[in-house]
Amino acid sequence: MSGDAANGHAAGGGGPAGEGLEGQHALGVRCEGLSFWYDEGATRIAALRGVDLTLAPGASVALLGPTGSGKSTLLQLLRGLLAPDEGRVLIDGLAAGEDGYEERERRIGLVFQMPEMQLFAATCRDDVAFGPRQLGWSAAEVDDAVTSALAAVGLPADRFGARHPYSLSGGEQRRLALAGVLAMRPGLLLLDEPFVSLDPASRRDLEAILRGLRATGMGLVLATHDVDRAYGLCDARVVLDEGVVVDAGPWRFGAGGEDALLSHRLKLPFVVELWRRLGRAAAEAPPELAAAAEALA
Amino acid sequence: MAIAQYYPRASPIHRLDPRCKVVAVAALVVGLFLRSSFAALAVYGLVAVAGLLLSGVPLGWVARGLRPVVWLLVLTFVVQLLFAPGPAFYTLGPLHLSLRGLAIAGYLSLRLVVLVVASLLLTLTTPPIALTDALAWLSRPLRRLRVPTEELALMVTIALRFIPTLMQEIDTIMKAQRARGASFTRGGPLRRARALVPVLVPLFILSFRRADELALAMEARCYLPGAPRTRLHPLHAHRRDAVVLVLVAALVVLAELI
C-alpha cells in the first residue's frame, strides 16, 4: 500500500533559531518497493516486503508497529547501513550510485536503540566529536558542531565536555549519544525507540529536545512503541506490520481510523482513548469522568 | 556462523552418550595418525562416512564444514605433488613430479578430509552443552591435580551461550558507529585496527556489566564455586555406547593389522 506521509509540518530550512542547528537543508526520502530478508541458518525471514513510502523534507513521521514488524530494518535501510534485497531508496530524488547520493546519505542521522552502547571516548566532547571528525571537518568546525550539539541536548560543553561519558546518568548518556549524531548536522533524524528504558523525567527531557529539533525544520522519523509521544511529536504516522505498510498518512481517528492501530496490536494515544470513553453514555463512565466531560464540553 | 554447528535430529548417532562420541572420535583421530596406509585410511574413511549417513545430517552442512579447510587441502595436495621425493617422471627445476608424490599427496589430503569429517560428526550431532559436559566428565581425573575442571566447564558453557549475543552486539555497535561515519574497511591494517576501538570499548563495557549481573544472578540462585552441582540432563551411558566403543576399538586394531 503506497504511503504519502508528507502532510503536516512545513518543509525545512529557515525555522526559528534552534540551538545553532538551524540552516541545514532538510532531506526528502522515498522508498520504492523496498524488500529485505534476514538469513537465519536455513530459513529466510522477510523483514520488509514491498515498502513504498514518501517522506517530504522536514516532515515528522511516527513509525509504529509491533515488535518484529521491520521498523529497525527500515531505518537502517534508509540510512544505507543495509542494502535492500529489492527496491531502492531515493534521497532528494537521487538513487544509490548517483552523484551526491553518498553525501546526502551521510546527512541522515540514525540514533539506535539504547544508543549509550556507542559511547567509547574518554570525554563527552571527544565522543560527540567522533562523527564530525569522520566527516573530515576542520578542527574549528568540529569544535563548533560539538558545542552546539551538546547545547541542543541540554549538556552544555562547559559543564559536561570534559566529563567521562560513563559518569553520566542513563538519561544523560542517552542525550549524549543523540548529541553525537546531531553534531553531524543531519537533515533528517531517524530514531529507533528513543524513549525505551528512560524514567519519566528523562523522557520528558528528550521529548522537549526533539520538539526543539522539529522546530528548526529537521525531518524526524520516530520508530517507537510510545504512541502518546509519537502522537505529540509527529504529524503523520506509518504503521508497519510483518514488514508491510498497512497504513500511512496524517493521524486520523473516527470513521475507522483507529482500526489502523488497534488491529495491529497498537494502542491508541491516551487522549484519543479518553475521548472515546467520554463519548460513551454518561451512565457507563465513572462519575469523575462524567464530571470532566461536563466541564470540558 | 556458529562455532560448533549443531544439527538437531533423532538419529542413532545423536542418541549416543556424548562421552562415548568424544572417546570414539579421539580414538579414530589417533588411529589415523598411527598408521600411514591407504588401507587403514579406507577403514577410517568408511567408518566416518557410515557415521555421517547414520546421523542423517544433510550433506550440505558437511560440505559447509569442509569449506574452511579447502585451501589447506589444495595447498597440501599441490605441495606434496610437486616436491615430494621419489622416482620422478617429470622434473622442471625444483618441481619434482613423481608417482610417489601423487600417492603421498592423495593420502595426506584424504586423511585431512577424514579427520575433518570425523570431528564434524562429533559437533554436528552433539549440542555444545553436552560436549562440554562430556569433556568435564572425562577430565575429572585432573581434579586430583587441583585443576578446576567443573569451573572451567562452566566457563566454556557460559562463553558458548553468549557467543551469539556478543556477535549481535558487535553487529549493532558497528552499525551505530558506521552511522556516525566510521569505516571498518578503509585503509591498511593499522588504520583498521584503530577503527575497531569504538567497537571494542563499548563491547568490553557491556560484557563486564553483563558478567557482573550474571554473577549476581547466579549467586542469588545459590551458586557456589566448588560446591557439587547436579545437572538438569545428567549423562546416562547405555549399552549401545559400550557397543560403539568396542566396535571402534576393534576397528582401530583392524586398521593397525591391515
Find the residue in B nearest to A81 (Cα): B175
- Judge: B202–A79 Cβ closer than 8 Å, yes or no: no
Report whether pLDDT(B176) > 90: yes
Domains identified in chain B, total number: 2
- Whether residues B192 and B109 share a domain: the answer is no
A106: closest chain B residue by CA: B181
Confidence band, pLDDT 50/70/90 cuts, at residue A174:
very high
Percent of chain B with pLDDT over 70: 98
Number of A:B CB contacts under 8 A?
Answer: 50
- What's the pLDDT at A290? 66
Residues B21 and B104 in one domain: yes
Residue B160 lies in a domain: yes
B89 and B54 in a single domain? The answer is yes
User: Shortest CB distance from A118 goes to which of B176, B181, B197?
Assistant: B176
Q: Does domain A1-107+186-253 have CATH number 3.10.350.10?
A: no
| Unique residue bearing C-alpha cell 571527544 | A126
Contact: B176, A120; criterion CB under 8 Å: no
Model confidence pLDDT, tens digit, residues B184-241: 888 888 888 989 999 999 999 999 999 999 999 999 999 988 787 788 888 888 999 9
Interchain CB distance below 8 Å, B176 and A131: no
Predicted pLDDT at A18 = 33
pLDDT of residue A213: 94
Nearest CA in chain A to B203: A117
Nearest-neighbour CA in chain B from A164: distance (Å): 13
Q: Are the C-beta atoms of B13 and B54 separated by less than 8 Å?
A: yes
> How would residue A165 be classed by pLDDT, with cut points 50, 70 and 90?
very high
Per domain, the residue ranges of chain A are: 1-107+186-253, 124-184, 267-297
Tell me, yes or no, whether B225 lies in a domain.
no
In a domain, B80, yes or no: yes
Confidence band of B7 (pLDDT split at 50, 70, 90): confident
- Given an 8 Å threshold on Cβ–Cβ distance, is B177 in contact with A118? yes
Q: Which residues have CB under 8 Å from B40's CB, separation 6+?
A: B31, B32, B255, B256, B258
Question: What one-character-per-residue DSSP string does B54-91 give?
Answer: HHT--HHHHHHHHGGGHHHHHHHHHHHHHH--S-EEEE
What span, in angstroms and rounded, lies between the C-alpha atoms of B66 and B121?
A: 12
**Burial class (CB within 10 angstroms; exposed 0-12, middle 13-18, buried 19+) of B49:** middle
Of A85-94, A158-167, A209-218, B124-133, the range with the lowest mean pLDDT is B124-133
Asked if residue B183 and residue B205 are part of one domain, the reply reads yes
Question: Which among A76, A117, A184 has CB closest to B180?
Answer: A184
Question: What is the length of chain B?
Answer: 258
Say what the pLDDT of residue A88 is: 93
So what's the pLDDT on residue A9? 32
pLDDT digits (tens, 9 = 90+) for A216-236: 999 999 999 889 999 999 999
pLDDT computed for residue A24 by the predictor:
63
Within a domain: B175:
yes
B228 part of a folded domain:
no
Contact A219, A6 (CB under 8 A): no
Are residues B22 and B128 both part of a single domain? yes
Query: pLDDT of B79-111, one tens digit each?
Result: 888 877 777 777 777 777 788 888 888 899 999
pLDDT at A286: 67
Domain that holds residue B75: 12-140+236-257
> Do B101 and B195 have their domain in common?
no
Q: Are residues B25 and B108 in the same domain?
A: yes
